[in-house]
Structure 1
Amino acid sequence: MRLRKKEWAKPELEKDHKVVFNPLEHKEKWQDVFGNEYPIHVELGCGRGSFIAQLAERNPKINYIAVDIHPELLVYVLRKVNERDLDNVKMIPMYIEKIADVFGWDEVEKIYINFCNPWPNKRHHKRRLTHPNFLKAYKTFLKNKGEIWFKTDDAPLFADSLEYFQAEGFEDVYKTTDLHRSDFKGNIKTEYEEKFCEQGVKIKFAQFRKGV
């Protein structure tokens, strides 16, 4: 996705304490950043924030962290969070490849990966956020029995990802190739998901649990 650069986005982010520009300094201390002992959930790639803002509003006793490199997207996440007056969301502007440097062992209870780049070219598969290289990184900070929730419109990515998770020892909790016609309850649509639904695209969804 190519984003038009917005010169005002980063300065707006820098004015708000909800945006953390020095995340490596908080490794193993994220509950201190929030000022409570609530569980920590992380969204990797957050779009314009509709998903995480709704999630945080429904679950005030969970701490949420949205990770994305693009200030042009994070600024809209920040605005949605502030419009709802939510104090349980932080944002980190960074490349997801370095995510294992940010969180400590057993620090995160749940990870959300929604409509990530499918990187269809085989030589680029290692860039997929569900690739084993990333899953190994997530396991360094995901709690035992912690979960990863994954949504995509891309059938090849979904099929490959099921194999990736199995190879890395994750347990299947739930999976469907047509989320909106499944029996799964409590789904929150992302901006991309709304668009795909209008086009009649089936949404693939799976939950995975980290083994002990």
Structure 2
Amino acid sequence: MRLRNIPRAESVLKGCREVIDEPALYRGSWNDVFGNENPIYIEIGMGKGKFLLAMAERYPERNFIGIERYSSVLLRAVEKYMEPEGGAIRNIRFICMDAADIADVFAQGEVSGIYLNFSDPWPKARHARRRLTSKEYLYRYDKIAADGAVLEFKTDNRGLFGFSIEEIKECSRWELGKYTSDLHDDEDMNSGNVMTEYEEKFSSEGNPICKLRAVRKA
């Protein structure tokens, strides 16, 4: 699907101090950006920002960074953040970049948690390497994750979910934890769940949500 270019995106993003323009400059020093030593959690493919903004508000003792490839999509999240109720949140930053370059932006052990929510399934087999839960990406995450870092993935796509489980099982640096193919009917895994825009939409249509957790091995 081709995204519509929004002319004001560049100026709005540049005008928001929480949008980091040259993120590679801060590799290894993201705690200096936040001015504290709190653990850093990232969401890759943050979309319109509902999930990350809610997480940042719920967990002020953590630092959150939202990563989105397309400026026209990131614009929606930043505009939501700039609304009066969002502007009080100080433990959040935004980056417009391709997740394939993530090891150029974060140093080894710098990230304590990774959220992947309703990622592009890239349904064609020849595009499997582009899936954010492929072994290629799991190895990239290994380069930035701290020992014991948690990776959480949610999707409504059962094919992608099955693929993701097998990829994690085959990746020696990540250990598959709990998972479910019906999140909202799983009391344990749904405890404290923060819904995304897609999750609300798909759930209202009667589609079950899949979720897994994995942990980076020491």
Say whether the fold is shared (TM-score over 0.5): yes
- Aligned mates of 1:96, 1:14 — CA distance in 2: 20
- How does 1:148-167 map onto structure 2 within 5 Å? 148-167=151-170
Q: Aligned-pair distance for 1:90?
A: 0.4
Structure 1 position 172, deviation (Å): 2.2
Conserved? CA contact 1:81–1:89, under 8 Å: no
User: For 1:7 and 1:151, how far apart are their aligned partners in 2?
Assistant: 31
Task: Give the Å deviation of 1:80.
Answer: 2.4
The separation in 1 between residues aligned to 2:46 and 2:10, in whole angstroms, is 16
Distance 1:35 1:82 in 2: 21
* Distance in 1 of aligned mates of 2:148 and 2:178: 14
For residues 125 and 69 of structure 2, the distance between their equivalents in structure 1, rounded to whole angstroms, comes to 24
What does the per-residue CA deviation read over 1:121-159, in whole Å, with 9 as the maximum and x for residues that have no partner?
110000000000110010011011111000011111100
3-state SS in 1 of match to 2:82: helix
Cα shift readout 1:58-90 (whole Å, capped 9, x = no counterpart): 011110000012111212212222332211110
Match of 2:43 in 1: 43
Q: Is 1:195 aligned with 2:210?
A: no
2:180 is matched with 176
CA distance in 2: counterparts of 1:21 and 1:123, whole angstroms:
32
- Inter-partner Cα distance in structure 2 for 1:201 and 1:56: 27
SS of the residue 1:51 aligns to:
helix
Equivalent residue in structure 1 for 2:112, among 83, 103, 109: 109
Moved more, 1-10 or 43-52: 1-10
Tell me, in whole angstroms, the C-alpha distance in 1 between the residues paired with 2:165 and 2:62: 27
CA contact (8 A) 1:40 1:64 kept: yes
Counterparts of residues 1-212 of structure 1 (less than 5 Å): 1-83=1-83, 84=86, 85-169=88-172, 170-183=174-187, 184=189, 185-212=191-218
- The answer to whether the 8 A contact 1:6-1:72 is kept is yes
Distance in 1, matches of 2:144 and 2:216, equals 11
Query: Which amino acid in the other structure matches residue 68 of structure 1?
Result: E
- Deviation per CA, 1:13-70, whole angstroms, max 9, x where unpaired? 1011100010010000000011111100000000100000000000111100000121
> Could you tell me whether the CA contact under 8 Å between 1:177 and 1:202 is conserved in 2?
yes
User: Runs ≥4 in structure 1, deviation > 3 angstroms?
Assistant: none
SS in 2 for 1:90: strand
SS at match of 1:118: coil
Name the SS of the counterpart of 2:95 in structure 1: strand
Percent identity at matched positions? Answer: 38
What is the CA distance between 1:166 and its match in structure 2?
1.0
Please give the root-mean-square deviation of Cα atoms over the aligned residues, in Å.
0.9
What's the offset of the Cα at 1:4? 1.4
One-letter amino acid of the counterpart of residue 199, structure 2: E
Residues 13 and 75 in structure 1, CA contact (< 8 A), matched pair in contact too: yes
For structure 1, list consecutive stretches of 5 or more residues without a partner in the other structure. Answer: none
